[in-house]
Amino acid sequence: MVKYESVGHVALQEHWPDRHARWTATRARGRENDRPKKGKAEGTARTLQALMSLTLKCRVCKGLVSKSKAVQAANKRNDNTFKPGDGCGSSTCSSNFVNTKKQYLTNQANMRDAIAKGERILIKWPKRPNDKHFHTLQK
């Protein structure tokens, strides 16, 4: 039996004698270790962070509201519309106000500072909770 070897293969064997063993081990384990885990890629993390940073202004009390909380409140009713006060944590808008006034004001100050730093984005209210497009407001 004649074994075919190219010049390149011989050169590789001289430089990396364990090449075949590494190739076999990589083949055996599959490619799972070569890829990031589901939802852990850098682009996914950035997108999720941007999505969670969207902020609305409450239509009733003019407080700052996280878009994800407003969508959560609208989806809980299952009517595919926003109502005034959705997602707002103030005593005026929330039917089950649990935060103290100090906690609410601290949260509002933190959101305001994050908007000023560019960590949060102030947007217009979307027409429906499942709208994917949004328009930013001027600072």
Q: How many CB atoms lie within 10 A of CB 108?
A: 15
Tally: H helices and E strands in the chain: 5, 3
Q: What is the pLDDT of residues 3-44, one digit of tens each?
A: 444 445 555 566 666 767 777 777 676 665 665 566 677 777
Q: What is the pLDDT of residues 79-116, one digit of tens each?
A: 889 998 888 888 888 776 666 788 888 999 999 999 99
Stated pTM of the model: 0.66
**Distance (Å, rounded) from C-alpha 135 to C-alpha 139?**
13
